[in-house]
């Protein structure tokens, strides 16, 4: 904390080597280290600044995914950081407790920068969340689970997988930078903060013994009440907070088993999109003696009903052929101009046969309907990224509260990063 009360973080994007297999070095990138980056934590109402140094030999950016902040601080493709330069965005944290993250966003290069390891979590805390009896001891009973896929050579060197329609789908997982990970726990109740930081792969997380997965939060914060599900689906960029209750000495594995049915996809083209793949993600090993945990209350947060009374503008975004509304991203074209302090309806329609995702910078939004029906409870909370199933129409309601800036746009895009790099992205300005 500096003299005027600003919480200051530093991040240094750098090249290094990581041993995914003992004694075998892979060339990777990371923040303040060789792979991934530190978890940043700030409270609602705090002023924060991040001094981001670029020690790489290529330009990059750092975007605060899910954060509500001025467009100039957003870290999109217009806020490039040259090699050896430092960029120091600052803003006031003005949103509820949530699991956000940060990653590069240089236009056309995002996939390769993230795949090499540039990503980290940014946790927002607030008083409402702090008052709940939830696990929150970082790394002990409140544990980040950053999931990425990659290819590996026979001796364990990281290799970029082959390019397919979705992007690069790896046949192995890396969790928090580790292959084949396990987590030893000493508490009966554990909170896992899942981030899909993969460039192309969607996951359907569930437990190996068939117990339900207890979902408490999505991208933008806590759900109204926890939801028990067989599977939690996360497309690239999405987050989920889940609770797991373990018995002494027990072992249970978080897995991902994706199916064409879950993804709403034609089975004949599912395999080439990674939609038939299964993985062990993380084995949870409970100690023989566990600290007891309180009951978690039914009601977690106040999530207001979606308000469609006050819609100022309706826009449509059609996802097809690596384009949005038939256009590819152009750095000097602002596609949509939004009036500050208004609420909008964005219809996102995936008219193609393959899954995409849709992410909007600056705001947390709500899903009002999916193909005309209300969303299921797991999609009824605050979101900044959605899994856009093939041939499906999503109605989003977004409020653009403040931060008007006619000169600096925000982005919306498919978060399959190869699609984004191909131009499946557009820009909106809040004026």
Indicate the residue among 34 and 386 with the shorter CB distance to Cu ion.
386
Residue 231 binds what, of Cu ion, ligand C2O, none (CB under 5 to 8 Å, by partner type)?
A: none
Q: Which region, judged by CB under 6 A, interacts with ligand C2O, from 165-173, 246-254, 338-346, 408-416?
A: 408-416
Residues 6+ apart with CB under 8 A from 419: 167, 322, 356, 413
| Residue nearest ligand C2O, Cβ-based | 65
Do 95 and 122 form a contact (C-beta atoms < 8 A)?
no
Pairwise CA distance, residues 403 & 428, whole Å? 13
Among 204, 265, 398, 416, binds Cu ion (CB under 5 A): 416
Indicate the residue among 71 and 143 with the shorter CB distance to Cu ion.
71
Min dist. Cβ of residue 363 to Cu ion (A): 10
Residues 6+ apart with CB under 8 A from 98: 66, 123, 124, 217, 219, 220, 221, 239, 364, 382
Q: Which region, judged by CB under 6 A, interacts with ligand C2O, from 29-37, 301-309, 338-346, 411-419?
A: 411-419
* DSSP conformation letters of 114-134: HHTT--EEEEEE-HHHHTS--
Residues 75-114 that bind ligand C2O (CB under 6 A): 103, 105
Among 411, 424, 429, 430, binds ligand C2O (CB under 6 A): 411
Indicate the residue among 194 and 414 with the shorter CB distance to Cu ion.
414
Residue 49, judged by CB atoms within 10 A of its CB (0-12, 13-18, 19+), counts as middle
Per CB under 6 A, 68 contacts ligand C2O: no
Per CB under 6 A, 419 contacts ligand C2O: no
Q: Which region, judged by CB under 5 A, interacts with Cu ion, from 6-14, 144-152, 302-310, 408-416?
A: 408-416
Per CB under 6 A, 413 contacts ligand C2O: yes
Pairwise CA distance, residues 392 & 112, whole Å? 29
Cα distances from 164 to residues 208, 274, 324, 398, 417, in angstroms, run 29, 10, 20, 33, 12
Indicate the residue among 105 and 116 with the shorter CB distance to ligand C2O.
105
- The four Cα atoms 328, 204, 373, 193 give a dihedral, to 10 degrees, of -90
Binding mask 305-344 for ligand C2O (x = CB under 6 A): ----------------------------------------
Pairwise CA distance, residues 41 & 123, whole Å? 5
Among 201, 356, 366, 413, binds Cu ion (CB under 5 A): 356
Sign of CA dihedral 19, 50, 417, 352: positive
List phi, psi (to 5°) of 272. -70, -10
Binding mask 235-254 for ligand C2O (x = CB under 6 A): --x-----------------
- Coil, strand, or helix at residue 72? helix
Per CB under 5 A, 329 contacts Cu ion: no
Q: Could you give the angle at the alpha carbon of 67 between the alpha carbons of 65 and 69, nearest 5°? A: 125
Among 68, 359, 383, 389, binds ligand C2O (CB under 6 A): 359
Residues at the site binding ligand C2O, with contacts judged by CB under 6 A: 63, 65, 103, 105, 237, 359, 361, 411, 413, 415
């Amino acid at each position: 904390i500096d003299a005027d009360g600003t919480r200051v973080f530093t991040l240094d994007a750098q090249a290094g080597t990581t041993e995914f297999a003992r004694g075998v070095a892979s060339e990777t990138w990371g923040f303040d280290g060789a792979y991934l980056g530190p978890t940043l934590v700030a409270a609602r109402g705090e002023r924060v600044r991040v001094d981001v140094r670029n020690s790489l030999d290529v330009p990059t950016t750092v975007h605060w995914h899910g954060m509500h902040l001025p467009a100039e601080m957003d870290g999109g493709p217009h806020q490039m950081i040259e090699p050896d330069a430092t960029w120091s965005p600052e803003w006031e944290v003005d949103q509820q407790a949530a699991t956000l993250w940060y990653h590069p966003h240089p236009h056309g290069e995002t996939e390769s920068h993230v795949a090499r390891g540039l990503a980290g979590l940014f946790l927002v805390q607030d008083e409402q969340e702090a008052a709940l009896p939830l696990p929150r001891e970082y790394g002990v009973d409140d544990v980040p689970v950053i999931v990425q896929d990659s290819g590996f050579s026979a001796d364990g060197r990281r290799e970029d997988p082959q390019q397919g329609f979705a992007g690069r789908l790896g046949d192995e997982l890396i969790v928090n930078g580790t292959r084949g990970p396990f987590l030893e726990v000493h508490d009966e109740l554990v909170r896992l903060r899942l981030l899909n930081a993969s460039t192309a792969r969607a996951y359907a997380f569930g437990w190996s013994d068939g117990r339900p997965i207890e979902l408490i939060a999505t991208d933008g914060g806590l759900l109204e009440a926890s939801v028990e599900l067989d599977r939690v689906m996360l497309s690239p960029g999405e987050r989920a907070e889940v609770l797991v209750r373990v018995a002494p000495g027990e072992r249970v594995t978080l897995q991902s088993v994706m199916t064409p049915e879950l993804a709403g996809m034609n089975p004949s083209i599912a395999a080439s999109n990674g939609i038939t793949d299964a993985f062990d993600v993380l084995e949870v090993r409970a100690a023989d003696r566990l600290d007891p945990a309180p009951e978690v209350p039914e009601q977690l947060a106040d999530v207001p009903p979606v308000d469609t009374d006050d819609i100022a503008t309706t826009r449509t975004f059609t996802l097809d052929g690596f384009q949005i509304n038939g256009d590819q991203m152009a750095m000097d074209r602002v596609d949509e101009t939004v009036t500050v302090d208004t609420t909008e309806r964005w219809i996102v329609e995936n008219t193609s046969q393959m899954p995409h995702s849709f992410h909007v910078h600056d705001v947390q939004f709500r899903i009002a309907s999916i193909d005309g029906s209300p969303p299921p409870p797991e999609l009824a909370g605050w979101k900044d990224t959605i899994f856009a199933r093939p041939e499906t129409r999503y109605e989003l309601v977004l409020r653009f509260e403040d931060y008007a800036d006619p000169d600096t746009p925000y982005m919306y895009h498919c978060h399959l990063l190869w699609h984004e790099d191909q131009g499946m992205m557009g820009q909106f300005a809040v004026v």
